A = this chain, B = another copy of it.
Amino acid sequence: MFSQYLELVQQKKPLVHCITNYVTVNDCANMVLACGASPIMADDAQEVEDITTICNSLVINIGTLNERTIASMIKAGKKANQLGHPVILDPVGAGASALRTNTVLQLLQEVKFTAIRGNISEIKTVALGSGTTKGVDADVADEVNAQTLPEVLAFAKALARQTGAVIIITGPQDIITDGEQSCIVSNGHAMMSRITGSGCMLTCLLGAYLAAGPDSAFAACAAAVAEMGLAGEIAYQPGCGTLTFRTGLLDAISTMTGETLNGGARVAYL
């Protein structure tokens, strides 16, 4: 049951070190707090090792990367690997610029990730080393549907086996695989793509779930993905505006119970 992973976060109150973009960083910090964990944002090369050491997981998000923070991401990632802390990657906009694509490739070479979350275009870029993208949104050509699903799943499984990371491809349906076990989460709401930060917040939620030390990284990731989607469903009210929706989304995470999560999660194992 997914409730155990949610409740583990609430009991352990783990610390999550986030090196993330300045666009959605406030939403990310509030997401980590909402689920019961505690965030620290720190990106200077002189302190990232100290900060990572006192935390329980590290989230790396390349949303507004620059030369200074790329160096910090690598330094922090290596330290987290040494300490055995989970490290989660959000390759925001990979494929949109050579800098983003190359940074992702460098990160994959130098840091071992526990989980990697992106939209289909971003994950394709992670796997292939190049890709197309509609900015920070998925390219229409990459749409996942009944026809393309088997191919996408095979490709995600291969990437999971190659990297050792749980791969999470989010979209209208979310695909989660560790190369062995796979599932599709069909929670969520279209409004989630009308606010900034849905993806970044989910990646931080994954960071919190993995920081709590779950028995299964795959199951914990699936639980976090389901919780996020369910919160989107709860947040939506007919006719609501986008900022009211965002408030509802974080409110729903902050008041979510294990019972609600178990009752609302829609997961199909493949």
Contact = CB atoms under 8 A, between A and B. Distances in A.
B242 A38 contact: no
A225 to B, nearest CB: 20
Interface stretch (A133-141, A144-152, A169-177, A182-190): A133-141
Nearest to A44: B66
A208 to B, nearest CB: 13
A197 B26 contact: yes
Contacts of A33: 194-196, 242
Interface residues of A, number: 62
Interface in A47-104: 47, 50-51, 54-55, 63-68, 93, 96-100
A134 B243 contact: no
A33 B190 CA distance: 13
A196 to B, nearest CB: 4
Contact of A51 (B22, B44, B96): B96
Nearest to A98: B50
A7 interface: no
Contacts of A106: none
Contacts of A67: 44, 46
A42 to B, nearest CB: 7
A21 interface: yes
B50 A96 contact: yes
A70 to B, nearest CB: 9
5 contacts: A30-B196, A43-B66, A47-B98, A50-B99, A241-B247
Interface of A: 15, 21-27, 29-30, 33-34, 38-44, 46-47, 50-51, 54-55, 63-68, 93, 96-100, 133-137, 194-197, 239-244, 246-255
Given A38-B135, A39-B135, 7 more contacts: A22-B22, A23-B26, A33-B194, A46-B98, A50-B99, A54-B134, A243-B248
